[in-house]
Amino acid sequence: AFNLGNHVYIGGGFEHLDWAWEDQYLTPVFVDSYSVASQETGPRGISFSSDGTKFFVVGYQGSDVGEYSMSTAWDVSTASYTDALDISGQQTQPHGLTFNNDGTKLYLIEANGDYVHEYNLSTAWDTTTLSDNGWKNPGAYVSEPHSLVFNTDGTKLFITDRLSADIEELTLSTAYDIQTASHDTNDGIRITDQDSSPKGLAFNTDGTKMFVTGDANDKIYEFTLSTAWDVTTSSKTAELSVSAVDTDMTE
């Protein structure tokens, strides 16, 4: 999932992207969807450029990153396919993806082997300019990683563990450098009381809200963090069922 203000974007496992509306004063309703079936039959992760004119989908079946442009920012109904980057030479079974703030770095989760891969982009938000910059194995504390998200300054990395139903929190001594990531045994939470298969993850801009998509119950869960960017201080405040529009949420 990717959250921006009052829009929630959900990566649908059945070859499409859903767009829902979320606002504290309105009843959430389904708005639109965009099919990526012509390019990828197993979409797993989604991320947007900072200006909302591009989104990127990582494909489980094709082991690639698809790039799409939107003529109207943040409106997936105006999307068109641009191209795809084959990453099968670097990894298999890619799931989550995210960027640093300026689009010059791309990060991918590899479920087969529990790796986080880091790539450099010589041109921001252009995956054709990508080069491999190494990987980190968080397997000691993540058994089946699915999604990853940074805080706004790149000093924290959050990973969903689908198998253990955990949200893990890592600290980076150098911003956006996964080689400097470390983990404390207390840096994480288990959300089995809400969902046994968490997949997608997103935060609001100040880190006081966390949103998790749960595949087991087809819901989006909202958590409030009493200390910004500290998941151990989180408590569930709301949930939204999206089963009417998607029964296989992957991001």
Q: What is the pLDDT of residues 165-213, one digit of tens each?
A: 899 999 999 999 999 998 876 778 899 899 888 888 999 899 999 999 8
> Which residues are CB-contacts of 11 (< 8 A; sequence separation ≥ 6)?
1, 17, 18, 43, 44, 45, 46, 57, 200, 249, 250, 251
Percent pLDDT > 90 in the chain is 39
3-state secondary structure of 94: strand
Grade residue 240 by pLDDT with cuts at 50, 70 and 90: confident
Q: Cα separation of 147 and 200, whole Å?
A: 6
Instruction: Work out the number of other CB atoms within 10 angstroms of the CB of residue 78.
Output: 15
Kindly state the tokens that stand for 124: 């921001």
pLDDT higher than 60, residue 18: no
Percent pLDDT > 70 in the chain is 84
pTM recorded for the entire structure: 0.83
